[in-house]
Amino acid sequence: MDNQKILERFFKYIKIDTQSNEESTTCPSTAKQLNLGKVLVAELKEIGLSDVSIDENGYIMATLPANTDKKVPTIGFISHMDTAPDFSGENVNPQIIKNYDGGNIVINKEKNLVLTPELFPELTEYVGQTIITTDGNTLLGADDKAGITEIMTAMEYLVKNPKIKHGTIKVGFTPDEEIGRGVDKFDVEKFKADFAYTLDGGGVGELEYENFNAAKLTVKVQGRNVHPGYAKDKMLNANLIAIEYNDMLPVNMRPEFTQGYDGFFHILKMEGTVENATLVYIVRDHDREKFEQKKKMALEIEKFLNNRYGEGVVKAELVDQYYNMKEKVVPVIHVVETAQKAMELLEIEPIVVPIRGGTDGSRLSYMGLPCPNIFAGGLNFHGKFEYIPLESMRKASEVIVKIVELYTSK
């Protein structure tokens, strides 16, 4: 696999703005995601895949036909095309730091933006490698255009090296993962894979098959606005009741105080007046029982405050978003074990960690497609400090090829 070709492919993708938009009701949420989609469709055909398609919702699927008569599972590899709404993905101007020396990396001198090993200690793991950063004005887009690059690179390698025997391989590229809709319209039946891997993880070696159970919590408070000079025993200040609701949630269950398997309540948004106030949270926990307890707590606080201020003053609405894929992956744990073995054979230390978030794979697993997550190599996603080592992308491509080889050799 040629590092320069990987770099060129990655740069081609990240220069196409594909930011998704959670306020949109269309699929894909932004038409500009289709600009990348058209490029990918043409490239999939060019490198020799068959059944290449893009549907009206922006979902891309393609097939690398088997080159062996041996009975081998059909394996899928999936990445998403959109970048996060959190930070601009327009006019991405990547910077290349060759043979990184382990020191500070100035990404924007005028803005005094510097990647330092003190703030980002994982940088020291990539001494001597080629680091790709932003210029401080946009995100980089390694999440998940690195994943797309790695899948494309691996597929091209397999096509050009037919001595590597493999079963049928499926490729999928999805829109809108960053806004939680990445597989809303994914056709698992059409994809026809026995299992799949998303290429959407972080640093080299990450392998994930556990993720949060997730819900969205919206708290609406109906106040009563009365002239403050005459408010005694009449006014209900929605802002203050909303603050009271938040203060009743455990402080130690905020994300800034949690790690590993710890769950949390995370307030995303708050707005209000004396008359009306709204709080929006995400609720997370790896353990399903603890997850349900957190949801119960949210409703008990609603009940307590309504007993204090009057029925209907506080309304807490919970919507489940996704569940822990572990329940669906463990029965076919070979998909994780094979990925681990592939990494070990490539002298990559597998880092099996729970995802403190979710991926398309978590929902796909509940749609009948067990789908653990493999590293894509990027770090500091969703912001101006995002970067990726070139060598990490190559290693991820090599892992894909090795997984394919291992299933054929069984």
The one-digit pLDDT tens for each residue of the chain (410 residues) are 899 999 999 999 999 999 999 999 999 999 999 999 999 999 999 999 999 999 999 999 999 999 999 999 999 999 999 999 989 999 999 999 999 999 999 999 999 999 999 999 999 999 999 999 999 999 999 999 999 999 999 999 999 999 999 999 999 999 999 998 999 999 999 999 999 999 998 999 999 999 999 999 999 999 999 999 999 999 999 999 999 999 999 999 999 999 999 999 999 999 999 999 999 999 999 999 999 999 999 999 999 999 999 999 999 999 998 899 999 999 999 999 999 999 999 999 999 989 888 778 989 999 999 999 999 999 999 999 999 999 999 999 999 999 999 999 98
Region 3-210+324-409: CATH code: 3.40.630.10
Is omega for the bond preceding 69 within 30 degrees of 0, making it cis?
A: no
The catalytic site residues sit at 82, 177
User: DSSP letter at 257?
Assistant: G
Q: For 37-159, where are the E strands, in sequence order? A: 50-54, 60-64, 75-80, 95-97, 105-108, 113-115, 131-133
- Report how far Cα 220 is from the mean position of its chain's Cα atoms: 29
Q: What is the pLDDT of residue 285?
A: 97
What are the residue ranges of CATH 3.30.70.360 in the chain? Answer: 213-322
- Of the CATH numbers 2.60.40.10, 3.30.70.360, 3.40.50.300, 3.40.50.920, which one belongs to the domain with range 213-322? 3.30.70.360
Residue appearing with tokens 């991926």: 359
Residue 169 φ/ψ, nearest 5 degrees: -120, 135
CB 173 within 8 A of CB 40: yes
What are the residue ranges of CATH 3.40.630.10 in the chain? Answer: 3-210+324-409
